């Protein structure tokens, strides 16, 4: 056989160019359905297909049994094996790429990064941005916007990372596919077939074609998946771009809003800073002013201290005046001043009458000194230093607890201002009390007393502020109550027991008033409060509660005390103490004078009635005793029995005795305010909380100037409470007085009229008696007056005042003497013939100032018109002379008319003897009195002896002997007419007394008693000796 030709070498397949990588957002190129067609391998010589068989595999070579293999065959076999291994690798890569694709899809599903979620977030952000401007200004809106922008920004960042991861995964999937495709195009080359007969395919080629088809199908699927992934990436990127734009807009808007808010906050902070700076400057200014003021006060205090130290060495200058008062000792004032600038000869001091001074009285102020006036002796003298003036006053010790002296200075006519005042004592005048002040000008000064005034400063920071006058009174404020430091002045007017007793006497319903607080008068600087003020003040406790608590305490102490100790104490008592009990009981049997009611004596009839009631077993009489006020606890303050039986409880038997209780422990409070316009007390609805048995607390929402608190029973009404308060106010500002008229015994026309307080009546009578004014009518009834009332004396009947002022006037003052010294005379000597004396009335009248405005009268001006009528025909030519124009006088402003209308207060009947010199120019001749003594030791000689020895006390002795003052006046007037000696007057007086006696009366005893009453013990012994001698005879 001829040798076979070696097959022509097949050139290696060229490597196809790698497809370009897909653009971002572009789909990869699709593979053809039949797979990639391999390019034909060019050859130098065309051989038939059978000459170039397909490269068999090892198995095929083994089946053919052909052992001799050419190198070409070996190379073909190697290529086939390599293609198999590449196909296997491709399958593995396909499986791995499909697995990576599934993992990417799972991640996409897990992250739920779809378009709807992003659009929803964008929509919420837009709605939040388009909200109202008022909402956008708030900090909550900015916080919400910030959180939404941060959430959207985080989603966008996550989306970017997801897109980057997807792109990386696509690249990792595309790279193996590219490599496999290149290998396929390089390895698999179709066999050249003839046109006449198709080439025969081996088993390996068929297997490779099948694998190639499967690879193409997988590649198509991967391409579809890549398309979907690319689509999602494109949509996601578009959504991300939109979200980025919206987020950027939102961020810009948020920045803008944030900037506006920051600008607004900056402006507010700047305004607050400026306000705080202004406030700080104002506070610094006030602090500086306060510091300067304190420094000035310190300097002034130091200067005053230095001046006082120097002033103590200055000499006291005393100005004596003629004073109608007794307590000042004739001292007008005492001045201490720098001797270089002031001497006693530079000024004069005088007392001004209150009627001329024009002093205006203020409520609750009382005058306690003279009104003095300091004037320079020379009109050219100029005062160059301060004058330290001491003015005497008569403020009593009882009043110093609630009142204080105050000096007022007249700065203008009728205008009196307060001057800083303090109490002072001078070693030179230890018994007198002085009020001290400093003045820089010559002026009029007066000392008054007022209720103590406490000047308090309520600080702005709030707190509890206690009064210095009464520590139980306190004010509690908060920092919001006042916008600045508040200055108030508090006056506390106590209500005394005498006023309450008078109130209960005038108003029966006032017995329901258990206790009452003081009257508070507060002057506020502010008229509004930011927050209410808590006011704490004392109100005396319910007397019923106090009484029962004391009884319970006493019963408890009695139970705890052992009976043995009581017996031991009784045994240890000395016998002298037991003997002293009997004389005390004997003294009660015959008292020498009026004695106060004793509780033991008052209980005796009650105990007897109770015993009788216990025996009879009846309750009627006990109930009657309870109504009459004899039961336990019936008496209220002031010792007044309770007449009303509104709270009478049934009598109960307890511990072997009857017990009655007609009082109720329950009480209530009323807050009353003085209405300034209506001048009456009204009830305000303010809640009052008792915090202690004698302390209450309330909240004031607005300033109240004058108020008080009542503690009452439950049976009283609001109308009764207001009536009681108004009556109490009238009692407190008024004084109960009586008019006292006294005459001298030797001159009945010399009269002293006193307006005395009812509580000081006895003292005034004793003082008048010491001044030899001990004759006169009884005092008038009780009337009420107020400080500052203008009083006038008037006369009715056959009496008149012969002084310069026929109707004298004074101004009533509580602490000063209110008296008139007048001389009277009869109006007509020929009237009242049926009386032995002249009779008339002295009236006390109150003058009330009434101001009226006059009414201007319209005056018609007279018009002079002259008409000349010549003829009726020439009526048209009538001549009329027009009146000359008069100038209207200027209207003078009308002055108010001031009148004083009198009103009668009270009157007193006064009598004085007739003037016998006028009625009977010649004295009447009277028959002489012949005294015949029959067996009587008092003979004519004894009476003559007594008349001779009697001195100036003989008129008083005549009064003691029973001779009427009128008879004594007649006796003295007859003696003056005939010019009798004093012995004759005394003898006539004794004979007049003897004539009025009965013969059987003991003349010696009566005469001795009268003489002993006036200190003539010598004459008494003389009468006793004569009586003894007569008895012996």
Give DSSP secondary structure letters for 806-852.
SS-EEE--SSS--EEEEEEE-S-TTS-TTSSEEEEEEEEEEEEEEEE
Q: What backbone phi and psi angles, to 5 degrees, belong to 912?
A: -150, 150
User: What would the mean pLDDT of 451-469 be, rounded to a whole number?
Assistant: 91
Across 244-269, average pLDDT:
82
What residue has token string 């008792």?
A: 690
Report which of residues 266 and 857 the model is more confident about.
Answer: 266
Question: How many Cβ atoms sit within 10 Å of the Cβ of residue 284?
Answer: 11
Task: For residue 117, give Cα distances in angstroms to 108, 109, 149, 155, 243.
Answer: 13, 13, 15, 10, 11
Most confident of 5-14, 367-376, 574-583, 921-930: 367-376
Q: What is the mean pLDDT of residues 810-834?
A: 91
938: left (phi over 0), alpha (psi -120 to 50) or beta: beta
pLDDT for residue 305 is more than 70: yes
Structure tokens at 511: 């017995």
First-to-final CA distance of the chain: 236
Here the contacts of 74-83 (C-beta below 8 Å, separation 24 or greater) are 79/55, 79/187, 80/55, 80/56, 80/204, 81/57, 82/187, 83/183, 83/187, 83/188, 83/208
Contact 537/709 with Cβ under 8 angstroms? Answer: yes
> Of the candidates 317, 341, 455, 314, which has an alpha carbon nearest to the alpha carbon of residue 389?
317
pLDDT at 311 over 90: no
- Region 532-543 average pLDDT: 94
Interacting residues of 548 by C-beta distance below 8 A, sequence separation 6+ = 633, 665
Q: What is the DSSP string of 669-697?
A: EEEEEEETTTTEEEE----EEEEETTEEE
Assign 235 a pLDDT band (cuts: 50, 70, 90).
Answer: confident
DSSP annotation of 641: B
Alpha helices, DSSP H, located in 820-939: 916-919
pLDDT at 67: 41
Residues 6+ apart with CB under 8 A from 850: 898, 899, 900, 901
Question: Using CA atoms, how far apart are residues 649 and 622, in angstroms rounded to an integer?
Answer: 11
* Beta-bridge partners for 641: 635
Res. 210: pLDDT tops 60: yes
Q: What whole-number distance in Å separates Cα of residue 164 and Cα of residue 169?
A: 9
Provide the pLDDT for residue 1021: 85
Read off the pLDDT of residues 54-108 as tens digits, 9 standing for 90 and up: 444 333 333 333 344 444 455 545 555 555 555 555 445 455 555 555 554 554 4
pLDDT of residue 879: 40
Share above pLDDT 90 across residues of the chain, in percent, rounded to a whole number: 30
Higher local confidence (pLDDT), 609 or 842: 842
The C-alpha atoms of residue 756 and residue 851 are separated, in whole angstroms, by: 30
User: What per-residue confidence (pLDDT) applies to 338?
Assistant: 86
Q: Is residue 727's pLDDT more than 90?
A: yes
For residue range 543-553, list pLDDT tens digits in order: 988 888 888 88
Least trusted range by pLDDT, from 379-388, 785-794, 887-896: 887-896
**Tell me, what's the pLDDT at 489?**
93
Q: Residue 522: its pLDDT value, please?
A: 94
Instruction: Pick 828 or 57 by higher pLDDT.
Output: 828
Q: Which residue has the tokens 């003979």?
A: 939
How confident is residue 716, by pLDDT bands cut at 50, 70 and 90? very high
* pTM > 0.75: yes or no: no
**pLDDT attached to residue 799:** 94
Average pLDDT value for residue range 850-865: 60
Among 4-13, 468-477, 1017-1026, the least confident range = 4-13
- What are the tokens at 59? 């198995």
Of 574-578, 621-625, 862-866, the poorest mean pLDDT is in 621-625
Contact present, 794 and 800 (Cβ < 8 Å): no
* Half-sphere exposure of residue 592: CA atoms within 13 angstroms, side-chain side: 1
Flag the least confident range among 464-468, 553-557, 597-601. 597-601
- Mind listing the pLDDT tens digit for each residue in 382-433? 888 889 999 999 998 888 889 999 999 999 988 999 999 999 988 888 888 9
- Mind listing the pLDDT tens digit for each residue in 663-705? 678 899 999 999 888 889 999 999 999 999 999 999 999 999 9
Using the Cα atoms of residue 957, residue 961, residue 966 and residue 969 in order, give the sign of their dihedral: negative
Q: What pLDDT, in 10s, does the model give residues 105-139?
A: 554 444 445 556 666 767 776 776 666 655 665 66
Average pLDDT, the chain: 75
Question: Which range has highest mean pLDDT (8-17, 184-193, 204-213, 629-638)?
Answer: 204-213
Q: What's the pLDDT at 540?
A: 94
Q: Is the pLDDT of residue 583 over 50?
A: no
How many C-beta neighbours within 10 Å does residue 285 have? 10
* Structural Rg of the chain based on CA atoms: 65
Provide the β-strand partners of residue 351.
372
């Amino acid at each position: 056989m001829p040798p076979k030709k070696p097959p022509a070498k097949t050139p290696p397949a060229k490597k196809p160019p790698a497809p370009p990588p897909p653009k971002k957002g572009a789909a990869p190129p699709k593979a053809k359905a039949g797979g990639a067609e391999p390019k034909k391998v060019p050859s130098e010589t065309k051989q038939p297909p059978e000459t170039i068989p397909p490269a068999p595999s090892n198995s095929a070579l083994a089946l053919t049994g052909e052992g001799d293999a050419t190198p070409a065959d070996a190379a073909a076999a190697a290529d086939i094996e390599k293609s198999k291994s590449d196909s296997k690798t491709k399958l593995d890569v396909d499986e791995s790429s499909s697995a990576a694709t599934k993992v990417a899809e799972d991640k996409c599903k897990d992250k739920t990064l779809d378009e709807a979620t992003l659009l929803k977030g964008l929509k919420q952000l837009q709605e939040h941005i388009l909200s109202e401007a008022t909402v956008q200004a708030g900090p909550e809106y900015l916080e919400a916007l910030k959180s939404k922008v941060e959430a959207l920004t985080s989603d966008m960042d996550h989306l970017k990372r997801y897109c980057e991861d997807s792109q990386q995964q696509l690249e990792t999937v595309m790279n193996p596919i590219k490599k496999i495709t290149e290998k396929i195009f390089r390895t698999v080359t179709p066999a050249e077939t003839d046109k006449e007969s198709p080439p025969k395919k081996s088993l390996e080629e068929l297997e490779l074609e099948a694998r190639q088809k499967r690879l193409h199908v997988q590649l198509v699927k991967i391409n579809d998946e890549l398309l979907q992934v690319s689509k999602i990436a494109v949509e996601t990127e578009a959504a991300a771009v939109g979200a980025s734009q919206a987020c950027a807009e939102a961020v810009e808007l948020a920045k803008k809003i944030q900037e506006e808010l920051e600008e607004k906050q900056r402006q507010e902070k700047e305004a607050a800073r400026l306000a705080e700076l202004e406030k700080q400057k104002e506070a610094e200014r006030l602090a500086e002013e306060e510091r300067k003021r304190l420094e000035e006060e310190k300097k002034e205090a130091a200067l005053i201290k230095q001046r006082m130290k120097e002033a103590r060495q200055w000499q006291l200058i005393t100005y004596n005046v003629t004073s109608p008062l007794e307590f000042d000792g004739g001292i007008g004032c005492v001045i201490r001043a720098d001797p270089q600038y002031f001497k006693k000869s530079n000024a004069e001091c005088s007392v001004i009458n209150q009627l001329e001074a024009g002093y205006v009285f203020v409520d609750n102020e009382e005058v306690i000194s003279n009104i003095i006036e300091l004037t320079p002796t020379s009109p050219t003298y100029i005062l160059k230093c301060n004058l330290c003036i001491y003015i005497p006053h008569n403020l009593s010790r009882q009043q110093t607890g609630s009142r204080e002296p105050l000096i007022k200075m007249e700065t203008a006519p009728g205008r009196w201002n307060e001057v800083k005042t303090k109490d002072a004592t001078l070693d030179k005048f230890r018994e007198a009390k002085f009020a001290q002040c400093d003045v820089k000008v010559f002026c009029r000064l007066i000392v008054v007393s007022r209720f103590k005034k406490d000047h308090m400063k309520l600080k702005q920071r709030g707190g509890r502020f206690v009064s210095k006058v009464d520590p139980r009174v306190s004010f509690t404020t908060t920092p919001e109550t006042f916008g600045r430091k508040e200055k108030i002045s508090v006056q506390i007017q106590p209500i005394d027991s005498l006023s309450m007793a008078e109130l209960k006497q005038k108003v029966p319903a006032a017995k329901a008033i258990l206790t009452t607080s003081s009257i508070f008068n507060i002057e506020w600087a502010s008229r509004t409060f930011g927050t209410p003020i808590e006011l704490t003040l004392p109100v005396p406790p319910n007397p019923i509660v106090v009484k029962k608590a004391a009884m319970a305490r006493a019963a408890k102490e009695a139970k705890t005390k052992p009976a043995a100790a009581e017996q031991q104490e009784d045994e240890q008592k000395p016998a002298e103490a037991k003997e002293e009990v009997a004389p005390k009981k004997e003294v009660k049997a015959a008292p020498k004078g009026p004695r106060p009611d004793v509780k033991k004596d008052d209980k005796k009839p009650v105990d007897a009635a109770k015993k009788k009631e216990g025996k009879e077993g009846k309750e009627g009489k006990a109930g009657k005793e309870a109504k009459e006020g004899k039961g336990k606890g019936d008496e209220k303050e002031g010792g007044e029995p309770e007449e009303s039986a509104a709270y009478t409880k049934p009598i109960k038997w307890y511990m072997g005795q009857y017990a009655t209780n007609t009082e109720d422990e329950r009480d209530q409070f009323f807050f009353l305010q003085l209405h300034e316009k209506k001048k009456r007390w009204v009830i305000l609805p303010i809640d009052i909380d008792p915090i202690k048995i004698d302390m209450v607390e309330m909240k004031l929402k607005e300033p109240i100037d004058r108020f008080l608190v009542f503690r009452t029973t439950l049976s009283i009404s609001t109308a009764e409470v207001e009536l009681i308060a108004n009556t109490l106010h009238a009692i407190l500002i008024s004084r109960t007085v009586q008019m006292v008229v006294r005459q001298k015994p030797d001159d009945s026309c010399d009269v002293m009229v006193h307006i005395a307080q009812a509580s000081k009546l006895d003292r005034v009578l004793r003082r008048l008696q010491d001044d030899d004014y001990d004759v006169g009518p009884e005092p008038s009834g009780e009337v009420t007056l107020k400080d500052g009332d203008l009083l006038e004396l008037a006369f009715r009947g056959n009496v008149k005042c012969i002084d310069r002022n026929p109707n004298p006037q004074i101004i009533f003052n509580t602490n000063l003497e209110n008296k008139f010294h007048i001389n009277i005379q009869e109006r007509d000597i020929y009237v009242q013939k049926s009386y032995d004396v002249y009779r008339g009335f002295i009236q006390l009248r109150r003058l009330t100032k009434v101001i009226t405005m006059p009414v201007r009268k319209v005056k018609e001006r007279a018009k002079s018109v002259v008409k000349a009528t010549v003829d009726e025909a020439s009526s048209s030519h009538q001549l009329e002379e027009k009146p000359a124009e008069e100038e209207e006088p200027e209207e003078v402003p009308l002055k108010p008319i001031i009148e004083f209308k009198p009103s009668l207060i009270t009157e007193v009947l006064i009598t004085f003897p007739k003037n016998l010199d006028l009625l009977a120019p010649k004295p009447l001749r009277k028959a002489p009195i012949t005294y015949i003594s029959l067996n009587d030791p008092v003979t004519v000689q004894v009476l003559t002896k007594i008349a001779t020895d009697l001195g100036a006390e003989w008129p008083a002795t005549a009064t003691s002997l029973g001779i009427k003052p009128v008879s004594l006046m007649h006796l003295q007037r007859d003696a003056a007419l005939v010019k009798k000696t004093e012995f004759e007057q005394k003898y006539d007086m004794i004979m007049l007394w003897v004539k009025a006696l009965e013969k059987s009366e003991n003349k010696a005893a009566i005469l001795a008693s009268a003489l002993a009453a006036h200190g003539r013990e010598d004459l008494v012994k003389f009468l006793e000796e004569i009586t003894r001698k007569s008895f012996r005879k």
